[in-house]
Chains A and B, each alone.
Chain A
């Protein structure tokens, strides 16, 4: 890792760099601390390959929805209906695939489209009718929970076709036979990902240095990349020692990269932040604010639908209980990840870290045998604490 001396070498004052980035790395450090804590507390169970795969599978749908929720929150809104929508779409998938025998691909497309339409309807009320999103989506939460029970008739539908189950319980097809207990293809994919990330980091740093705008100290940069590489390689190793890369992790990773790029680098992404930061100023800068808000809700609907499918595939049945309370975990993930309840602030990486932080805590506490009652208490306090720390840091 870097030393203070190296920080001074940076072209622009190193202190500014630390100040600006403390928040981002602070999140990551909390996650690492919590992982280490539970690793010790559970006597090493937490990071067993089986359990790591489980954590990923258990949290995949939260992460997927958190990506959409982050953008909704950044525009200054909230979506309370995602749990119900995910559940409803799960029910719809059951109806289509199991009861009516609709073709798998068609059923998935229908489910995602319906999710988008649901998001669109809610977004329409929020963006064009200017009805507070809290109210619109609270209504949506009740409506779609109701619809789900109506279509399922308060019983579970299942099982799903085996190919559909693969969405959540399938793993990357191994090209090389694996006898040493390690799923080589998965491990290689993980390593390639790690190399790509480090390469990308170096490339963008080289570009910034050539333009003379890099403020990150070199020592820190190298240290960071070593840690990134080691962490990904380690997780890849753990996962490939169990059964290889879960399909859902691949979907998740692709989505995280895509949404990270979208929010960080594209004009539309920037405009979403502007809408949340100051809607009137954004509008007077030529940004079509209502349209953007509408589309963030459509996007949220599609992602909630995808999460609903993942959950249904994982449970291998569509049950009326599916999706209950998801919205709270998703929203909590975004806020723990540093999103502001006033809009305009929040990062994709933050939301993902927030989701995993909650996930690791859920998993770790379950292993420790802490009852669901106190798990809730602890999660609530962590949410409050994380936001307090964030607010305190901002005021400083």
Chain B
């Protein structure tokens, strides 16, 4: 499938990976993958989680050194044997990982020139660094002062600093792993514009992403990986590429729709939050959530939409046992009665579950296996008089592994070694095992692939069918529109609008936000 595209190429390839195979023990992560990137293009790399995208990029950048894989890598026409990441960086291959690698308490300039930068005899040349940083920041469209600390920047701007850092190294091939996963719509759009700008200057980019609309917008070509093999490369200039076409190749099956259908059976109000206010934990005068109220009925899925920093996560976490914020006021009612949710333990007992947006840091113990993570929030359910019954614990884990279709060798596999989608399913299992009546899912599909997303939506539907009240917080509007009965729009700590699920469109949600913004 690759060859026709190659022969049509007018520019020579900057990168050619031929017949790459890589195994971890008995598991074959990549088998005979070929991947060609032309000079000056934006090349998207897509595939389900565990399809081998990250592994392929790690082979390319030398994280997996020459000799630990089979096949050959040609970069600007020559065969390369990278022993580590420094080798590939020297040639201008720069990877920007999903988890940003900036040091929060250092300035932008210090971060950009962390490893090397203008200096005289080993002494940092501050003025040169300052000026150079200003230049680089201008290139990525940032007007921040170089001495600004990273911790004071939002995620979107941090992403741009990472890119500026890449530019400081004379980048020839920029690899972005899920660059927009944690960005809001505006920042994402800005980032994509920047990539296009780079293309005009001849910088080649590889972009790994699950956001198909973004890919079809910017990519010149799209390579699809499935189960460690190349499925094919689509050329966007040969005609418009259909998102469904990409999905079909990724999952090797037709997803009738990206959102499973559900007939809502909505019951009585079982979850109410009234006059809820929360202040920032450190800056006690900043009110993060401003006197908001919401009601959710049994069997109902309610979405909370809003821009980054609208206070959605703060609202959810503060309701969930005051896990966020200070000076919290307001009442929570469950089944019509006021519930004590003054700490997380009590909130769980009252029937609440909160599935975090940050599964790696707040959701899982990565070094522990699936079994121990699943039972963690409800150890009482697998114990008698404080003693854990290992057999019933394992049974529970196996049940969830089957029910949630967690892909792993067994329940004793470390969660840190699972793909994003499977990790998310483990977190969901943990909360389902607590037997909650109300589930708050914060960005439940962040950074996971189309197939796993579909499965998560199906689980949401099952929960609603079982009469639970489900609250979904998401930055992806199509997701909310596709899954929710009702969408509430949050802006600067307040609910500023509400749209019924069948009437919801991206436009009217955005309008609700913008109306407030313009005020």
- Residues of A participating in the B interface, judged by any CB pair closer than 8 Å: 12, 16, 20, 207-208, 211, 213, 265-268, 270-271, 273-274, 277-278, 280-288, 344-345
Contacts and interface: CB of A to CB of B under 8 A. Distances in A.
Nearest to B412: A20
Contacts of A267: 379-380, 383, 386-388
Contacts of B387: 265-267
Contacts of A284: 320, 323, 344, 354, 356, 362-363
B332 to A, nearest CB: 16
B361 interface: yes
A280 B356 CA distance: 11
B409 interface: yes
B365 A281 contact: yes
Most chain B CB within 10 A, of A266, A285, A344, is at A285
A16 B410 CA distance: 10
A128 to B, nearest CB: 15
Contacts of A281: 361-365, 376
Contacts of A207: 391
B372 interface: yes
Contact of B376 (A20, A285, A345): A285
A103 B99 CA distance: 62
B376 A265 contact: no
B366 interface: yes
Nearest to A345: B367
A154 B514 CA distance: 76
Most chain B CB within 10 A, of A20, A283, A286, A344, is at A286
A282 B377 CA distance: 8
Contacts of A273: 368, 372
A211 B391 contact: yes
A270 B378 CA distance: 12
A107 to B, nearest CB: 32
Q: What are the nearest 10 A-B pairs in CB distance?
A: A277-B365, A285-B377, A286-B345, A267-B379, A278-B365, A286-B348, A286-B344, A285-B376, A211-B391, A280-B362
Contacts of B321: 286
A63 B380 CA distance: 31
B430 interface: yes
Nearest to B379: A267
Given A16-B410, A278-B365, 11 more contacts: A16-B412, A20-B412, A213-B391, A267-B388, A271-B379, A283-B323, A284-B320, A284-B356, A285-B376, A286-B344, A288-B345
A208 B395 CA distance: 12
5 contacts: A278-B364, A280-B362, A281-B363, A281-B364, A286-B321
Interface string B340-384: 000111011000001010000111111110001000110110010
B408 to A, nearest CB: 12
Contacts of B356: 284
Contacts of A16: 409-410, 412
B508 to A, nearest CB: 34
B394 interface: yes
Contacts of B365: 274, 277-278, 281-282, 344
Contacts of B368: 273-274, 277, 344
A274 B391 contact: no
B428 to A, nearest CB: 13
Contacts of B372: 270, 273-274
A21 B412 CA distance: 13
Nearest to B393: A270
Contacts of B323: 283-284
Contacts of B388: 265-267, 270
A200 to B, nearest CB: 14
B344 A285 contact: yes
A328 B235 CA distance: 64
Nearest to B388: A265
A280 B320 CA distance: 14
Contacts of B363: 281, 284
A110 B387 CA distance: 31
A345 B366 CA distance: 12
Interface string B425-467: 0000010000000000000000000000000000000000000
A274 B379 CA distance: 12
B462 to A, nearest CB: 22
A37 B348 CA distance: 55
B377 A286 contact: yes
A270 B367 contact: no
B391 A208 contact: yes
A278 B361 contact: yes
B326 to A, nearest CB: 15
Contact of A280 (B345, B348, B361, B376): B361
B366 A278 contact: yes
Contacts of A285: 344, 348, 376-377, 430
A273 to B, nearest CB: 7
B95 to A, nearest CB: 20
A93 B175 CA distance: 66
Nearest to B411: A213
Nearest to A207: B391
A274 B376 contact: yes
A267 B382 CA distance: 9
A277 B379 contact: no
A384 B409 CA distance: 34
Contacts of B380: 267
Contacts of A345: 367
A270 B379 contact: yes
A175 to B, nearest CB: 34
Most chain A CB within 10 A, of B321, B344, B376, is at B376
Nearest to B377: A285
A277 B364 CA distance: 9
